[in-house]
Amino acid sequence: MSERIMNVLFLCTGNSARSILAESLLNNLAVNKGHFQAFSAGSHPAGAVNPFATELLLKNHLPTEGLRSKSWNEFAQPGSPELDFVFTVCDNAAGEICPVWPGQPMTAHWGVPDPAAVEGSDDKKRKAFFQAFNQLRNRISLFANLPLDKLDRIKLQKALDEIGKSSP
């Protein structure tokens, strides 16, 4: 891999919670230091960022400016960023037929339970968002610390798949 900034797209169905958390986490991870530019999108965007996601990001001193729920079609248009990596963070999006992405991105499934689907008290919902956040933070940290310049595509794909199996 070269020294250029690599573009990473996190996908989920609604693009309101998990993929939004992942986008913010990677863009603000200290080890990132300009190596990655993260984006997020959904196959059927909810149209708004889940307020529990926004609350959690702010609580962890992560910026929320510019985060929005958007369609994955925005990243399949001419002039879209050339993608290096595409990660699905929900099982529904992983099973859908994705658009053709610019570039030849490496893909992996990093399924995380949907905190937006949790019903009950606000405390129960906050706990679900916190668990998803921690799982994503762990996986993104592992990814950002990979020696990308030392791994061929086969070894890198194996590493990306293993990250998707890791727990918080």
- Tens digits of per-residue pLDDT, 13-44? 999 999 999 999 999 986 666 789 999 999 99
| Residue 48 lies in domain | 6-158
**What is the tally of structural domains in the chain?**
1
Residue 165 lies in a domain: no
Residue 168 lies in a domain: no
Quickly state the pLDDT bin for 97 (edges 50, 70, 90). Answer: low
Quickly state the pLDDT bin for 52 (edges 50, 70, 90). Answer: very high
Residue 163 lies in a domain: no
Segments in the chain forming alpha helices (H): 18-28, 51-59, 91-95, 122-144, 153-163
CATH number, position 74: 3.40.50.2300
